[in-house]
Amino acid sequence: MTTQPLPLHPDAVTRTQQFLDEHAAGVQVLVPDADTSTVVAAAAALGVRPGQIAKTLAVRAGDGVLLLVMSGDARLDNRKFRDRFGAKPRMLGAEETERLTGQPVGGVGPLGHAPELAVYADVSLRAYDAVYPAAGSRSSAVRLTLDQLETLTRATWVDVGSVPAAD
């Protein structure tokens, strides 16, 4: 069975907004006049701390694929991940990520994906009341409370990241 690629931006942003319209009335995709494809760029464009950027990683664990949402200042801890998922994490390449999500690397968000694509939220996000995941493009985001993130993505909370100590 082959998977047909999903269309990329701008349709991915439109799909994200349609998902929000159906499941979280009043929540709007933000499209700043700046690139948001990296944590530092997104934080600057949105006027928030880097840790509030909720980066979404497409990861292979053994035979499965999942989306992992973590704080922008957190790093994936291979040991913790292996202990939790029973396999070493392998980041998906850009083409496979785009084929799976219909969103480009640097713009992958956790919202509106097929139910079989499991979403996990790292506890590093709990340091903030609101976080900003991407919304389907390298220049979009959405502000979500942690409750909204958990509910809208059907995320399972995990502890697979580490946050560097503040200097």
pLDDT tens digits, residue range 96-141?
999 999 999 999 999 998 888 999 999 999 999 999 999 999 999 9
pTM: 0.91
Does the residue 70 lie in any domain? yes
pLDDT tens digits, residue range 97-106?
999 999 999 9
Q: Which pair of tokens denotes residue 73?
A: 């200042």
Range with the poorest average pLDDT among 2-16, 24-38, 91-105, 135-149? 2-16
Range with the poorest average pLDDT among 4-8, 46-50, 136-140? 4-8
Does the residue 128 lie in any domain? yes
Alpha-helical segments (H) within the chain = 11-23, 39-46, 78-85, 94-101, 146-153
Does the residue 1 lie in any domain? no
Q: How confident is the model at residue 7 (pLDDT cuts 50, 70, 90)?
A: very low
CATH of residue 140: 3.90.960.10
- Cα separation, 54 vs 31, whole angstroms: 16
Domain that includes residue 16, residue range: 11-156
Q: How many domains does the chain have?
A: 1
Does the residue 2 lie in any domain? no
Does the residue 163 lie in any domain? no
Query: What angle is formed at CA 64 by the lines to CA 58 and CA 67, rounded to 5 degrees?
Result: 25
Residue 40 pLDDT greater than 50, yes or no: yes
Contact yes or no for 161/76 (Cβ under 8 A):
yes
pLDDT at residue number 21? 95
Dihedral, CA atoms, 23, 16, 91, 117, nearest 10 degrees?
Answer: 40
